[in-house]
């Protein structure tokens, strides 16, 4: 059976030039992320985990090397092409949870789906129940804890069954039980075909990885599948 790789990078590098020196955020990262799996990006702060996710999401442009998505070279895509990919196929969970403060939790979720799509509305309600948040659907983000808002952001990222979810420290504000619930959901969606690329420091999250990478100073120093 042929293994599919939604994302592939080849010799991916990103450098920042200052007055006196050049800093390498990524150094010739070559990696394939298998479809329907959870890939873990490990490493200390500043190792390049978030930078790699941002490159895969089109928020940062590499200095050299290539990014392929579903076999297509997307390295030099336009902002419009990246925006379409983000809207339809690749979703991101950031470290800083971004929700509309003037909308309720339910309205925040409905903002990213069609209010006439019964299937997605049912999915949103099911995900809120799975996260033990259904009772908070009519509250505003400010009324939830940081962990509660983080879980809402994860629900939003899973809506519409994206092809890929990029998650940057998705359990950083969660306790052990809620971290387990989130990762069990990721595993459930991975079985259905969604590919997860997760940057984390959390050892319990790492145990869910089918494919684990360790980064150090922008380089992949260890890879286990």
* 7-224: in CATH 3.40.50.300: yes
What is the structure's pLDDT at 165? 98
Name the pTM for this structure.
0.95
Burial of 201 (0-12, 13-18, 19+ CB in 10 A): middle
Structure tokens at 209: 């990885």
Which is nearest to 218 in space by CA: 45, 38, 33? 45
Left, alpha or beta for 49 (phi > 0: left; psi -120 to 50: alpha)?
Answer: alpha
What is the structure's pLDDT at 22? 84
Reduced to 3 states, what is the DSSP secondary structure of residue 49? helix
What is the structure's pLDDT at 1? 58
Reduced to 3 states, what is the DSSP secondary structure of residue 224? strand
In the predicted model, residues of the chain with pLDDT beneath 50 are none
SS3 track for 140-183: CHHHCCHHHHHHHHHHHHHCCCCCEEEEECCCCCCCHHHHHHHH
What is the structure's pLDDT at 21? 81
Q: Are 121 and 113 in contact (CB under 8 A)?
A: yes
Q: Are 170 and 198 in contact (CB under 8 A)?
A: yes
How far apart (Å, rounded) are the C-alpha atoms in residues 126 and 158?
11
> How do beta strands 64-69 and 164-168 pair?
unpaired
What is the structure's pLDDT at 115? 73
């Amino acid at each position: 059976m042929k293994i599919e790789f939604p994302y592939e990078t080849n010799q991916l590098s990103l450098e920042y030039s200052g007055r006196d020196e050049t800093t390498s955020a990524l150094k010739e990262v070559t990696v394939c992320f298998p479809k329907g799996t959870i890939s873990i990006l490990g490493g200390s702060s500043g190792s390049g985990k978030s930078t790699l996710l941002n490159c895969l999401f089109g928020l940062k442009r590499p200095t050299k090397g290539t990014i392929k998505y579903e076999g297509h070279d997307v390295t030099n895509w336009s902002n419009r092409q990246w925006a379409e990919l983000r809207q339809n196929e690749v979703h991101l969970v950031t470290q800083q949870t971004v929700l509309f403060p003037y909308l309720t939790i339910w309205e925040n979720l409905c903002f990213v789906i069609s209010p006439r799509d019964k299937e997605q509305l049912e999915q949103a309600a099911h995900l809120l129940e799975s996260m033990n948040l259904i009772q908070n659907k009519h509250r505003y983000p400010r009324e939830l804890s940081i962990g509660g808002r983080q879980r809402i952001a994860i629900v939003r990222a899973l809506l519409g069954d994206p092809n890929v979810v990029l998650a940057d420290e998705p359990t950083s504000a969660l306790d052990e039980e809620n971290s387990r619930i989130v990762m069990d959901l990721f595993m459930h969606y991975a079985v259905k075909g969604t590919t997860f690329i997760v940057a984390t420091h959390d050892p319990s999250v790492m145990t869910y990885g089918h494919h684990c990478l360790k980064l150090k100073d922008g380089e992949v120093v260890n890879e286990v599948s």
